Amino acid sequence: MKTYNKLVRDKIPEIINKQGEIAKIEILSDEQYLAELYKKLQEEITEFKGDPCEEELADIFEVLDALKAYYRFSGGSIEKIKSQKRKERGGFDDRIFLKTIEK
C-alpha cells in the first residue's frame, strides 16, 4: 500500500482501478478542498521550478482554473482586470527589480 493523501485530478481513481489496483478516496468538504487546492498550487509551482516546461505550467493553470471556479470568478472579468492593471502599471517584461525608495 502506498499513501498519497493529496488532491488528484478527477480521473485518477478510474485510471488506478483500470490498472487492477484499488484507489481509496474521500470527497472533500469546501474548506478541505480549498486548503488542498492551495497545497496543490504550491506543489505544481515547485515542480515547474524544477522542470520549467509547458506541461508543468499547464498543471499550474489547471489549479488556477479550479480556484477560479471555487470562488465563482469570471474568466472575462479576470482578463479585464489583468488588462487594466497592465495598462496602468505595466507587466513584468522589463524585469525591473525595485531595490529602495528614498525620500
- Can you read off the three cell numbers belonging to residue 10? 478527477
Give the C-alpha separation, 44 to 12, whole Å: 17
pLDDT of residue 5: 97
CA 86-66-9 angle, to 5 degrees, is 135
Return the C-alpha torsion angle 63, 67, 69, 72, nearest 10: -160
Per-residue model confidence (pLDDT) at position 75: 87
The tens digit of pLDDT for each residue in 10-36 reads 999 999 999 999 999 999 999 999 999
pTM of the entire predicted model: 0.89
* Rounded CA separation 68/34 (Å): 11
Note the helical H segments in the chain: 12-18, 30-50, 54-70, 75-89
**Tens-digit pLDDT profile for residues 31-87:** 999 999 999 999 999 999 999 999 999 999 999 999 999 999 998 999 999 999 999
